[in-house]
């Protein structure tokens, strides 16, 4: 069964929420693809999309270089929904007017909508929406009706039902728009006729069948890190071809406490996978000896990872395919989308393509992270692995300021394990997106019993974020911080001071190095 009969095209005009729109459409169980706005009407027709969404964007429609779409798109008969800049562009290109206002309308705004329109069917007449714009539609094109207004916006939404064209000035994809998902569903189901067929259960069955066919009797190699992406990718391949898949798990010794054993146990015992665990801590630590510069640490670990992986894979003889856990945001961020993305980190698992394989297998190329997690649950991967917070490839090496020694690693692993345990005990692990301990490299004076101490300072870092590009420090209850602090002081040797990091990103980063 092909599970992508229905696909929505999201045309990216460079808006900050473009990926979020795509995720929301997927949450409505409709498959969608994010493509640059330059896609032509011909290409769209050929691909057979059932609907099109124009995203927002940073430009004014009147800018000299303002991005415009192929005008033929409006003649295809495919339903189009314009959001923010996309709405203004639709208005302007079809003969309406867009004006620039003195003040930016930003934040939560009350709109009043016409519930007999398609988009606002079953919606509340008055509701809160999220606005973020300076320009606004002042006159709708011929044939369009105004379907929503706000105090500052004469056209908060408009539609031409005969041509299946819809537009909204606000952002339905943002959580603050109370009924945003309903408006999107009305577009997807009622205008485009989508049937909510995109489900992770079908994705899993379908992908396994396709992988079986593609791989045949060939052999596949996978670098398993224990992170959710590589785990789900490997398991899909394993379900398809069983022992034809070999996974190499390079344990660089910079993982969190007990993590290496957990990964091994899940994949070897629970799933009976062909797993090779390489305990390479000594190799990594000797390469890292005396190195204090963060980028140098990253580089050494990245290079050594590839070397260990190559050494191990050579022992296995010829392998035909390399399986990788690339996910949709990686694909989009590597240049498919329009948004300017600042991305400075690469996973250590990034392997050179010239390692001599017939091809690369990337079963998660079309999925967002939330979908990867759902697929993981469908496959029976334990929740603690599926919901695991992101963990940097270079591991604890970038959470120990300065040089790395086995002793420092032990201190950090123990402190970090206590913090994680208390977060789970207090139910913070699902609401806080990333949390960990840092060995700051600062020693300070303390008293313990009757004696003076001069020992390590551990910093606790916990952030909430949706994309890890920006983040806020988490408002962790004081009693939880107190418990963690007491436990670390009492249970971990050589630590006499705990501090909590209250900096957002920017200006700080999430990691300390």
Q: Which residues bind ligand XMP (CB under 6 A)?
A: 298, 345, 347, 390, 392-394, 434, 468, 505, 509-511
Tokens found for residue 362:
């990337």
Q: Which is nearer to ligand XMP, 7 or 434 (CB)?
A: 434
Q: Which is nearer to ligand XMP, 11 or 415 (CB)?
A: 415
Q: How far is the CB of 298 from ligand XMP (least distance, A)?
A: 5
Active-site position among 173, 179, 371, 378:
173
Q: How far is the CB of 105 from ligand XMP (least distance, A)?
A: 31
How far apart are alpha carbons 443 and 36 in whole angstroms?
51
DSSP track, 344-387 = ----TT---GGGT-SEEE-TTTT--HHHHHHHHHHTT--HHHHT
Cis ω before 507 (30° cut-off from 0): yes
Beta carbons within 8 Å of 390's beta carbon, 6+ residues apart: 227, 433, 434, 468
Instruction: Name the β-bridge partners of 83.
Output: 168
How far apart are alpha carbons 32 and 194 in whole angstroms?
11
Q: How far is the CB of 305 from ligand XMP (least distance, A)?
A: 11
Q: Which is nearer to ligand XMP, 210 or 505 (CB)?
A: 505
Query: Is 84 an active-site residue?
Result: yes
Active-site position among 84, 153, 194, 323:
84
Q: How far is the CB of 200 from ligand XMP (least distance, A)?
A: 24
Q: How far is the CB of 254 from ligand XMP (least distance, A)?
A: 11
Q: How far is the CB of 439 from ligand XMP (least distance, A)?
A: 16
How far apart are alpha carbons 388 and 399 in whole angstroms?
18
DSSP track, 258-276 = THHHHHHIIIIIIT--EEE
Beta carbons within 8 Å of 308's beta carbon, 6+ residues apart: 250, 252, 278, 280, 283
Tokens found for residue 289:
């000896």
CA distances from 473 to 421, 430, 468 (A): 19, 15, 12
Q: Which is nearer to ligand XMP, 73 or 250 (CB)?
A: 250
How far apart are alpha carbons 355 and 314 in whole angstroms?
10
Q: Which is nearer to ligand XMP, 36 or 390 (CB)?
A: 390
Beta carbons within 8 Å of 204's beta carbon, 6+ residues apart: 236, 375, 378, 379
Q: Which is nearer to ligand XMP, 375 or 463 (CB)?
A: 463
Query: Is 173 an active-site residue?
Result: yes
Tokens found for residue 325:
């856990």
Tokens found for residue 347:
């996973």
Q: Which is nearer to ligand XMP, 60 or 503 (CB)?
A: 503
Question: Is residue 445 within a helix (H) or strand (E), and if so which, with residue range?
Answer: strand 434-448
Active-site position among 32, 113, 133, 171:
171
Q: How far is the CB of 403 from ligand XMP (least distance, A)?
A: 17
- Could you list the active site residues? 84, 171, 173
């Amino acid at each position: 069964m092909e599970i992508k009969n229905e696909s929505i095209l999201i045309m990216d005009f460079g808006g900050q929420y473009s990926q979020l729109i795509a995720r929301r459409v997927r949450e409505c169980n409709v498959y969608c693809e994010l493509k640059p706005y330059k896609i032509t009407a011909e290409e769209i027709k050929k691909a057979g999309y059932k609907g099109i969404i124009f995203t927002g964007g940073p430009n004014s429609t009147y800018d000299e270089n303002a991005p415009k779409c192929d005008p033929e798109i409006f003649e295809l008969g495919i339903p189009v929904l314009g959001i923010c800049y996309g709405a203004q562009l639709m208005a302007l290109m079809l003969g309406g007017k867009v004006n620039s206002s003195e003040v930016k309308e930003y934040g939560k705004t009350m709109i009043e909508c016409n519930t007999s329109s398609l988009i606002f069917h079953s919606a509340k007449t008055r509701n809160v929406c999220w606005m973020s714009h300076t320009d606004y539609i002042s006159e709708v094109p011929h044939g369009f009706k105004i379907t929503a207004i706000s105090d500052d916006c004469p056209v908060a939404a408009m539609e031409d039902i005969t041509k299946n064209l819809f537009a909204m000035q606000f952002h339905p994809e943002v959580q603050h728009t109370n009924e945003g998902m309903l408006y999107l569903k009305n577009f997807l189901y009622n205008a485009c006729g989508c049937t909510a067929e995109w489900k992770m259960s079908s994705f899993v069955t379908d992908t396994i069948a396709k992988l079986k066919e593609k791989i045949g009797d060939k052999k596949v190699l996978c670098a398993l890190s224990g992170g959710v992406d590589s785990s789900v990718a490997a398991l899909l391949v394993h379900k398809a071809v069983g022992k034809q898949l070999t996974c190499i798990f390079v344990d660089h010794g910079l993982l969190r406490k007990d993590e290496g054993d957990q990964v091994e146990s899940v994949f070897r015992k629970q799933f009976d996978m062909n797993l090779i665990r390489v305990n390479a801590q000594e190799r990594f630590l000797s390469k890292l000896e005396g190195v204090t510069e963060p980028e140098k640490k990253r580089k050494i670990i990245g290079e050594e990872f590839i070397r260990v992986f190559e050494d191990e894979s050579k022992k296995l003889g010829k392998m035909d395919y390399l399986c990788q856990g690339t996910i949709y945001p990686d694909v989009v961020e590597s240049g498919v989308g329009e948004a300017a993305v600042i991305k400075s980190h690469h996973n250590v698992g990034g392997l050179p393509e010239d390692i001599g394989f017939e091809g690369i297998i990337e079963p998660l190329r079309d999925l967002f992270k939330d979908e990867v997690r759902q697929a993981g649950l469908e496959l029976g991967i334990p929740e603690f692995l599926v919901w695991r917070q992101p963990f940097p490839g270079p591991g604890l090496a970038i959470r120990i300021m300065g040089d790395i020694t086995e002793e420092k690693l032990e201190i950090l692993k123990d402190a970090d394990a206590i913090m994680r345990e208390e977060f789970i005990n207090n139910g913070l692990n699902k609401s806080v997106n990333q949390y960990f301990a840092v060995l700051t490299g600062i020693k300070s004076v303390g008293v313990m019993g009757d004696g003076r101490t001069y020992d390590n300072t551990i910093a606790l870092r916990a952030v909430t974020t949706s994309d890890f590009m920006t983040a806020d420090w988490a408002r962790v209850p004081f009693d939880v911080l107190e418990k963690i602090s007491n436990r670390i002081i009492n249970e971990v040797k050589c630590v006499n001071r705990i501090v909590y990091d209250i900096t957002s990103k920017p200006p700080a980063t999430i990691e300390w190095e």
